[in-house]
A and B are shown apart, each in its own frame.
Chain A
Amino acid sequence: MQEQQIISTENILLSAQGLHKSFGGLKAVNNAKIEVKKGSITGLIGPNGAGKTTLFNLLSNFIKSDKGEIIFDGQPINNLPSHKIANLGFVRTFQVARVLSRLSVLENMLLASQQQTGENFLNVWFQRKQIRKEELENRDKAMAILESVGLIKKVNDYAGGLSGGQRKLLEMGRALMTNPQLILLDEPAAGVNPTLIGEICEHILNWNKQGITFLIIEHNMDVIMSLSHHVWVLAEGTNLADGTPEQIQSNSQVLEAYLGE
């Protein structure tokens, strides 16, 4: 836990205050707050239905919040469309790993690259040389990432043919391809076999060392407690507690929320 002391308090990459979201009469997220320090791995836990995934959706603006303020890298992002948020270096993944089934693994990766010249309709006609150059560069980068996550043999396979664990890896690799500052991971270990869980954890630690910040929802307590520098606990849409993994593990309120009275 030495890294924790290194991270200073003013280095907050993402902060959200007073977030509200109701679906009809159900208050899914009710006055929630979260802070993610630059360079950290931050955990978000809570019992089923606590509103964790909804909070993720609010942060990435996939769902618009009713009230509240979200600041990423010193800039309010409440009113930015979700694709602009991703452009800023804030990428999310999904609870059930989503891949583009009928595109190859490589194409899944190439899609993620930001600011591609060839994404503009006119450039397709007038910048062909530049596009070819970028495609080659992006291909090299994608290959390196795929190599590191062990999907290199699947490069030309359809992504729809991957197993659940491989999909998780592809999704993370794809997020990495965007050159992100912050990656939101929604249950990276769910439905993955124990060996692969270890592998995924190692990758996350590795990427974190390279300077990428993570915010992770996870039900697997071993994973979250071993990875995180700081953990936030959500229950029934509101903050229950936050602190270091040790503090959370010995917090009676948290144990109560998980185990019942």
Chain B
Amino acid sequence: MVGYIVFLTISAGLYAIFGLGLNLQWGFTGLINFGHVAFMTVGAYTTVLLTNQGVPVILAVLIGAILASLLGLLIGTSTLRLREDYLAIVTIGVSELLRLIALNEEWLTKGAFGVQGFPLPLGKFDPNFFGKFIMIAILTIIAIFTAYKLWIGLSKIWRKGNRIGPLIWAVISGIILLLVYICGVIALNDYNYKAGLMLLVLVTLALVYSGLEILVNSPWGRILKAIREDEEIPRALGKNVFWYKLQSFMLGGGIAGVAGSFYAWQLTTVYPSNFEPLLTFNAWTIVVLGGAGSNQGTILGAIIFWGYDSLTRFVLPQLGILDNARLGAFRVMIIGLILIVLMIWRPQGILGNKDELTLGK
């Protein structure tokens, strides 16, 4: 049970980071990126290949993120001057291209055989009592930070006069938070590398989230939002629209690159088939589900996505209606159905702002 919750936390955390990158590009800047997994591929392969050569983990992750954003620069300079739909096509092409390169350039990536046995962060770490204490303290700080953010968000809705909604949210999120925290503490106490990875994912997520919140609420973020609404206006007001699009695209890509490192560490063996276009669309599901243009929404989307995944993986087989092959397809169909229903009744996503949608252009 504890191990599984830790696994879920890592998954949700790294998908949240992955989704936050896409949310910056799409939710805040309006760039349609259908090849988000490309950045993750670059981040993941760079990290594992470099650490295999003895490069320190932190440095490898940084280089991975930088290379991923350079990929963004490359795609961006060639396509961002074009209209959005072209960007969508080019990005999906690039992501497949990268996967095929990883599959065929065996001298570098070992192809379909996969890269194995690369060093893991905190992999050989054997904490004493003091080390464990520090790690649990960090986890506690993150939990308090989350609870505080939840409190602020929910009390805002409460003050608007909505009573039942925030209560339900408070109970559900409280239970999830407590469950993750308790399991996290237990896991850190009986330390193995997965527990360390979980802590690293959560710390990174908290940093990425806080950084993005500062950015999108700054004048810099205001220009991105303006570009999302109508790029001719910032242009007429003297903003270099192309340069801001490029910055957003590169930063989002770099964040996805960091998510790629965690993805590799969770997999422990990296195959090209781990980077199918499906991952891009998982990120889209997460962003749309939570509400595009909301960083909290993206994190919530990632939690719901993985909560749904694990629930259906274990509950549905118990019902014994479908065999395993059909069950797999069925679960994906339900996700599609949820998205359709959401688009009809809550097109702004769960945490999106409804007022925004009732506006005419």
Interface size on B, residues (CB 8 A): 30
Q: Given A110-B222, A135-B219, does the pair A98, B356 have CB atoms closer than 8 Å?
A: no
Residues of B within 8 A of A118 (CB): 218-220
Minimum CB–CB distance from B65 to chain A (whole Å) comes to 15
Which interface class (under 10, 10 to 19, 20 to 34, 35 or more) fits A?
Answer: 35 or more
Residue B232, interface by CB 8 Å: yes
Residue B161, interface by CB 8 Å: no
Q: How far is the CA of A114 from the CA of B226 in the complex (A)?
A: 15
Residues of A within 8 A of B189 (CB): none
Give chain B's interface secondary structure class.
helix
Q: Given A118-B218, A119-B219, does the pair A87, B360 have CB atoms closer than 8 Å?
A: no
Q: How far is the CA of A224 from the CA of B293 in the complex (A)?
A: 43
Q: Which residue of B lies closest to A92 (CB)?
A: B236
Q: Which residue of B lies closest to A184 (CB)?
A: B236
Q: How far is the CA of A66 from the CA of B235 in the complex (A)?
A: 21
Minimum CB–CB distance from A90 to chain B (whole Å) comes to 9
Residue B84, interface by CB 8 Å: no
Q: How far is the CA of A93 from the CA of B356 in the complex (A)?
A: 24
Q: Given A101-B359, A111-B226, A160-B361, does the pair A87, B238 have CB atoms closer than 8 Å?
A: yes
A111/B361 in contact, CB under 8 A = no
Query: Which one, A15-23, A78-86, A237-245, is touching chain B?
Result: A78-86
Q: How far is the CA of A135 from the CA of B233 in the complex (A)?
A: 20
Residue B215, interface by CB 8 Å: yes
Residues of A within 8 A of B293 (CB): 102
* Other-chain contact of A102, B215, B225, B238 (Cβ < 8 Å): B225
Q: How far is the CA of A101 from the CA of B223 in the complex (A)?
A: 14
Residues of A within 8 A of B247 (CB): 121
Contacts A83-B240, A100-B225 supplied; 11 other A-B pairs, CB < 8 Å: A60-B236, A81-B240, A101-B359, A102-B229, A118-B219, A118-B220, A119-B220, A124-B215, A161-B359, A174-B237, A178-B237
5 pairs, CB–CB < 8 Å, chain A vs chain B: A83-B234, A98-B233, A107-B225, A124-B219, A178-B237
9 A-B pairs with least C-beta separation: A160-B359, A86-B238, A118-B219, A100-B229, A87-B238, A124-B218, A102-B356, A116-B219, A101-B359
Residues of A within 8 A of B (CB): 60, 62, 81-87, 91-94, 98-103, 107, 110-112, 114, 116-121, 124-125, 131, 135, 158, 160-161, 174, 178
